[in-house]
Amino acid sequence: MFPERPGRVLPSALGLNGEFYARASATGRLHLQQCFDCSAWRHPPRFRCARCGSSAWTWEPTSGHGRVFTWTVTHRPIDPAFSGELPYAVLVVELDEGPRVVGNLLGIEPAALSLDLAVIVEIEVVSPTAAFVHFRPA
Ligand SMILES: [Zn+2]
């Protein structure tokens, strides 16, 4: 399902970033913060709501659906664990809930990407505290 990438760098398990990845790992679903007071979704994780300033939030599961907002194609990897997959695309996807999330492309070649392409998230669990976010065409 997911390509083997021995030695790859895992996401940080610290702070709110760590909570984001631990929740994805525990559930296999993409969760984002949602403001308890005004219901605004937000990402990346932070302590206060940009809309109303509230410091109260919950982690809520997203639909997992979104559209390609932009992408970049990597021809020279920073992490050598990805050198066998060149070229690969990293996407910015605007979720149906609103926030934009970065993830890897699965299922099609980067040359087949188009703006506004409908995609769905896939969570790759790699440890109890880490997961990778991928998207494939819906
Ligand atoms: Zn708010």
Q: Which of 42, 60, 61, 43 is nearest to 51 (CA)?
A: 42
Give residue 17 CA to ligand 1 midpoint distance, Å: 19
Q: In this structure, is residue 42 part of a structural domain?
A: yes
> For residue 77, what pLDDT is reported?
81
Show the 3-state SS of 53-115.
Answer: CCCCEEEEECCCEEEEEEEEEECCCCCHHHHHHCCEEEEEEEECCCCEEEEEECCCCHHHCCC
Give residue 50 CA to ligand 1 midpoint distance, Å: 7
Give residue 33 CA to ligand 1 midpoint distance, Å: 10
Question: What tokens does 38 get?
Answer: 């005004």
Q: In this structure, is residue 19 part of a structural domain?
A: yes
Residue with tokens 């919950």: 58
Q: Per the structure, how many domains does the chain have?
A: 1
Give residue 110 CA to ligand 1 midpoint distance, Å: 36
Q: In this structure, is residue 5 part of a structural domain?
A: no
> For residue 132, what pLDDT is reported?
93
Residue 26's H or E segment, with its range, is helix 15-27
Give residue 42 CA to ligand 1 midpoint distance, Å: 9
> For residue 4, what pLDDT is reported?
66
Give residue 134 CA to ligand 1 midpoint distance, Å: 28
Tell me the residue range of the domain where 59 lies.
15-137
Give residue 138 CA to ligand 1 midpoint distance, Å: 30
Q: In this structure, is residue 4 part of a structural domain?
A: no
CATH number of the domain within which 90 lies:
2.40.50.840
pLDDT digit string (tens) for the chain, length 138 residues: 566 666 778 888 899 999 999 999 999 999 999 999 999 999 999 999 999 999 999 999 999 999 999 999 999 987 888 888 899 999 999 999 999 999 999 999 999 999 999 999 999 999 888 999 999 999
The span from the CA of 125 to the CA of 64, in Å, is 16
Question: What tokens does 106 get?
Answer: 């699965």
Q: In this structure, is residue 123 part of a structural domain?
A: yes
